[in-house]
Amino acid sequence: MADRTKIPRPRPTPETQHFWDGTREGRLLIQACNDCGHVYFPPRPFCPSCSSRNVDVLEASGDATLYSYVINHRPHPGFDGPYAIAVVTLAEGPRMMTNIVNCDQTPDALQLDMPLKVTFERLTDDITLPYFEPVGDAS
Amino acid sequence: MKPGSIAIVGAAETTELGKIPGMSQTQLHADAALNALDDCGIKMVDVDGIATAGESPINLAHYLGIVPTWVDGTGVGGCSFMLHVRHAAAAIAEGLCSTVLITHGESGRSGVGRGGFGGGSASLAAQFESPYGPMGPPSMFTIPVLRYMKDFGLTVEQLALIAVIQREWAALNPRSSYKEPLTVDDVLNERMIAYPFTKLMCCLVTDGGGALILTSAERAADFPTKPVYLLGTGESVETPMVSQMDDFTSSRAFRVASRKAFAESGVHHSDVDHLMIYDAFAHLPIYGLEDLGFCERGEAGAFIGERHTAIGGKLPVNTNGGGLSYMHSGMYGMYALQESVRQLRGTAAAQIEGAKISVAHGVGGMFAASGTIVMSNEKP
Ligand SMILES: [Zn+2]
């Protein structure tokens, strides 16, 4: 049985704190550049595309598609294996690593480009992790 | 470097100094870098070389949005930046890059986002990848391949064949870790490590080492060995987070490094007699063949299937057996170079008759970094 306390805990920095404040409130926050329009993740207080410091935080829709994944078969104390380590593409463009929850961890159930929706799991008082789950009545 | 040929044109410190609890160490690098750009009126996109110490230049290049053709992470303590200036001068003089950014940032007092003891979990990878259970290269380096397979129709059998063909090469090499012949079924029926990769599609874990000695072509004549001349070199980095690669079907670092190396060498792909592509996992030769320009996008699986990279093929690849069958101690790039040197000296176990030009292409991290070396046993 997975021991969720064995999941590595993110330690926020001043540049990423807004992201972790957001997930705690059930919001997925990304950033956008006011000068060139680039939407990006992971967080930083300037635009990685044009170097402008004129950037804003914005709330993502939470809609995403499955970009790629592996199903890890080696035992991890924080997970019931085998489990998929996935990368999803947000509707807004940026990609993020995640796990696909409420879904069988099999190649049949995990089809690339399937639509996904963000969901959150509280890990500690400070850290809530964003995960993604299939949209609709997929397994 | 000719005296007076290289200049410092931008210089700045962080916006604040003293006590800065509101910035992580990485952001201190970035803040100073952005200020230095402002100082001389250029943009990050104009920077094509990066050097730093106390922080991985891979992390920083990705964080800042730089596509470098020259990278220096020399870390020898407080004077690292003097060495960076010297190395940058040589690199610019040599045309490896044109505009170098050298950064320092250290949260020495506040200790915000510092690496080392207790600080690892504040990196972007630790915050945004580690919680999802990746367990090192076998479950991270492998994540892009399903996207490649879907986009280009590569089959798992084609992926397995790469391990089979490298085992054929290894069988000719008495120093290989594994020599017994394999079939595609053998590879697919092995224990699953990270779907779709079975154990035989993952590199070995062994002990070993290697060393190289370089000097000028002029001095090389005084040595008893057959010289291997450098024709072209390239390097780049993309991102320390595999999830943040631009395109899961192609490595930007591979493309940037190899283009630079081929351009400098003046060598055409059809002139290459021998190729080493660091094969930490079975998909690496696919990405390498395409990103280095030996195959069109999506065609490397068929190219390998037609045995062009196998014994007797027109482009022998990983002739020592590679990381999959020869050896892999952790940083295999050294062994790829060693095999290129052996082939060009004519002393390889699986010697390619008349090999004159060899290319050794390496990867660092999980598609994070890349280096390409074009070599010949003939002076151009
Ligand atoms: Zn921008």
Q: What is the pLDDT of residues B149-205, one digit of tens each?
A: 999 999 999 999 999 999 999 999 999 999 999 999 999 999 999 999 999 999 999
Answer yes or no: is A4 within a domain. Answer: no
Is residue B119 very low, low, confident or very high in pLDDT (cuts 50, 70, 90)?
Answer: very low
Mean pLDDT of B69-81: 95
At residue B120, the pLDDT reads: 58
Neighbours of ion ligand 1 (CB under 5 A): A 33, 35-36, 38, 47, 49-50, 52
Q: Determine, for residues A50 and B64 on separate chains, whether the beta-carbon distance falls below 8 Å.
A: no
For B338, the 3-state DSSP assignment is helix
What mean pLDDT comes out for the span B71-96? Answer: 95
Other Cβ atoms within 10 Å of B185 Cβ, number? 11
Identify whether B332 is a catalytic site residue.
no
What's the pLDDT score for residue B294?
98
Instruction: Determine the pLDDT at residue B114.
Output: 79
Sequential DSSP letters for B86-150? HHHHHHHHHTS-S-EEEE----TTT-TT--STTTGGGSHHHHHTGGG---SGGGTTTTTHHHHHH
Q: Are residues A50 and A83 in the same domain?
A: no
Taking CA–CA distances from B194, the nearest residue in chain A reads A72
Residues A116, A66, single domain; the answer is yes
Residues A66-94 have a mean pLDDT of 97
Q: Do B25-128 and B138-376 share a fold?
A: yes
CATH superfamily for B138-376 is Thiolase/Chalcone synthase (3.40.47.10)
Please tell me whether residues A53 and A80 are part of one structural domain: no
Whether A111 and A90 map to the same domain: the answer is yes
List helix spans (H) across chain B.
25-40, 57-64, 80-94, 124-128, 145-152, 156-171, 184-189, 217-220, 252-265, 284-291, 300-305, 322-325, 333-345
Is A135 part of a structural domain of the chain?
no
Which position among B63, B148, B287, B326 bears the catalytic label?
Answer: B326
Instruction: Give the pair of three-digit tokens for residue B257.
Output: 């490094």
In a domain, A130, yes or no: no
Same-domain status, A67 and A38: no
pLDDT band at A139 (very low <50, low <70, confident <90, very high): very low
Q: Which residue of A has its CA nearest to B47?
A: A51
Q: Tell me what pLDDT residue B115 has.
A: 62
pLDDT tens per residue across span A4-23: 999 999 999 999 999 999 99
List the CATH number of the domain containing A18: 2.20.28
Q: What is the mean pLDDT of residues A61-67?
A: 98
B147–A68 CB contact, under 8 Å: yes
Mean pLDDT for A89-107 is 98
Question: Which residue among A73, A85, A96 places its CB closest to the CB of B128?
Answer: A96
Q: Quick check: B301 pLDDT over 90? A: yes
Q: What is the percent of chain A where pLDDT is above 90?
A: 95
Instruction: Evaluate whether residue A66 is within a structural domain.
Output: yes
Q: Decide if A99 is inside a domain.
A: yes
Are A35 and A85 in a shared domain? no
Instruction: Indicate the angle between helix axes B252-265 and B284-291, nearest 10 degrees.
Output: 50
In chain A, how many domains are there?
2
Give the residue from A66, A63, A79, A74 showing the smallest Cα distance to A110.
A66
Is residue A1 one of the residues assigned to a domain? no
Domain of residue A29, residue span:
11-59
pTM: 0.94
Residue showing tokens 């290049």: B61
Asked if B178 and B170 touch (Cβ cutoff 8 Å), the reply is yes
Output the pLDDT for position B49.
97
For A82, nearest residue in chain B (alpha carbons): B194
Question: Is the previous residue joined to B196 through a cis bond, with omega within 30 degrees of 0?
Answer: yes
Question: Does residue A102 form part of some domain?
Answer: yes
Angle at A54 between CA B70 and CA B127, to 5 degrees: 65
Give mean pLDDT, residues A49-53. Answer: 96
pLDDT of residue B117: 44
Q: How far is A27 from chain B (nearest CA, A)?
A: 16
Asked if B26 and A13 come within 8 Å (Cβ–Cβ), the reply is: yes
pLDDT band at B312 (very low <50, low <70, confident <90, very high): very high
Look at residue A137 in the predicted model and tell me its pLDDT: 60
Domain boundary assignment for chain B: 25-128, 138-376
CB A76 within 8 A of CB B139: no
- Whether the CB-CB separation of B253 and B236 falls below 8 Å is answered with yes
Just give the CATH number of B25-128: 3.40.47.10
How far apart are the C-alpha atoms of B13 and B107, rounded to whole Å?
14
